[in-house]
């Protein structure tokens, strides 16, 4: 088995992103070459081939970066407890033993729930080090009253959430009101306190890649610790072209400030072969640090089942039925 490191959830040991004062000149010059973006992302699958033990290693690493999520109207404490059990033991023990990984403490990167389930998840994960993330600020539309959105954040933090996934007001992007977007995300960041803020841009609703680039930069300037593509509820969610734009913004921001900001593609990633493209993108554009769960998360719970199937195929040479890899 190829060497793996840091399989445990993020300890958030990196310095927090302190942000920058609002400066419209930072985003005024941002441009996107669409044909170059499409050419770059098309090349990812063709130029890199990860096979056998190395593929298994990359997939195990992907598991450690998954935000295992349930965001359904019929969520119950029992469902959330089952999800937490899966987060603690994401791969069957017999497969881990066959892969030589039984003693590595593999878990998912976090568990993500609505506010009402935060306390249940925190209790179920006590002592594991797995953080609980809460979606907030009127998720998924982000159109509830501003003070209500701030109070949602405060209450989730008080309940034990270590990460807050906020949604921006997409209307600020579509109207070019960058100052309003900056002030909004900055206020959300302050309400988070010690909890890390993951800013969901809703890229499928931002119309252009240039808007994605500008929204990414504004969110980081306002203090976001992560930028995230989607809520998973839009008609178009994570894509490689959008991801390239966002990780290039992260790289530019690090060059400006020295702060490392994390990235989270979410929605539309359900096959193991798909996540390899995102991992290759992170490695080639940002480096090995961004393959760790403190800087890379994946919002794709259904992905875990397919990764488990691929790992079983690697061990046994046979594909198994989905029911052999239940969520809990």
User: Which residues are known to be catalytic?
Assistant: 165, 228, 264
Helix (H) or strand (E) holding 163: strand 163-167
Contact 300, 275 (CB under 8 A): yes
Contact 147, 240 (CB under 8 A): no
Residue 262 has which token pair?
């994390």
- CA angle 134/325/58 to nearest 5° reads 75
Contact 100, 94 (CB under 8 A): no
- 3-class DSSP assignment, residue 134: strand
**What does the CA dihedral 288, 292, 297, 302 come to, rounded to 10 degrees?**
100
Q: Where are the alpha helices (DSSP H) in the chain?
A: 24-28, 34-47, 52-63, 77-88, 93-98, 118-124, 146-158, 170-174, 178-192, 209-221, 240-257, 272-286, 301-316
323 C-beta neighbours (distance < 10 Å), count: 7
Identify whether 140 is preceded by a cis peptide bond (ω within 30 of 0): yes
Please give the radius of gyration of the chain, using alpha carbons only, rounded to the nearest integer: 19
DSSP symbols for 165-188 = EEE--HHHHHTT-HHHHHHHHHHH
């Amino acid at each position: 088995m190829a060497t793996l490191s840091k399989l445990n959830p993020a300890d958030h040991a990196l310095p927090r992103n302190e942000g920058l004062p609002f400066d419209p000149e930072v985003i005024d010059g941002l441009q996107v070459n669409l044909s170059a973006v499409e050419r770059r992302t098309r090349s990812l699958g063709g130029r890199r081939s990860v096979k056998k033990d190395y593929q298994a290693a990359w997939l195990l690493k992907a598991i450690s970066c998954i935000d295992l999520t349930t965001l359904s109207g019929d969520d119950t404490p029992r469902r959330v407890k089952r999800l937490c059990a899966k987060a603690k033991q994401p791969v069957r023990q017999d497969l881990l033993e066959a892969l030589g990984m039984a003693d590595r403490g593999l878990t998912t990167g976090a568990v993500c729930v609505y506010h009402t389930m935060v306390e249940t998840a925190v209790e179920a994960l006590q002592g594991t080090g797995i953080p609980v993330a809460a979606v907030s600020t009127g998720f998924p539309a982000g159109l509830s009253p501003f003070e209500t959105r701030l109070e949602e954040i405060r209450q989730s933090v008080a309940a034990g959430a270590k990460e807050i996934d906020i949604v921006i007001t997409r209307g600020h992007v579509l109207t070019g009101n960058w100052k309003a977007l900056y002030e909004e995300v900055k206020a959300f960041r302050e309400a988070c306190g010690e909890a890390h803020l993951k800013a969901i841009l809703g890229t499928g609703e931002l119309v252009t890649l240039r808007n994605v680039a500008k929204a990414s930069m504004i969110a980081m300037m306002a203090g976001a610790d992560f930028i995230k593509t989607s809520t998973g509820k839009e008609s178009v969610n994570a894509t490689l072209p959008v991801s390239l734009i966002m990780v290039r913004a992260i790289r530019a921001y690090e060059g400006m400030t020295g702060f490392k900001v994390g990235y989270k593609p979410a929605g539309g990633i359900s096959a193991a072969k798909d996540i390899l493209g995102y991992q290759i993108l992170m490695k080639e554009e940002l480096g090995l640090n961004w393959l760790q769960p403190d800087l890379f998360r994946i919002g794709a719970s259904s992905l875990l089942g397919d990764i488990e199937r691929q790992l079983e195929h690697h061990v046994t040479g046979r594909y198994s039925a989905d029911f052999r890899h239940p969520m809990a």
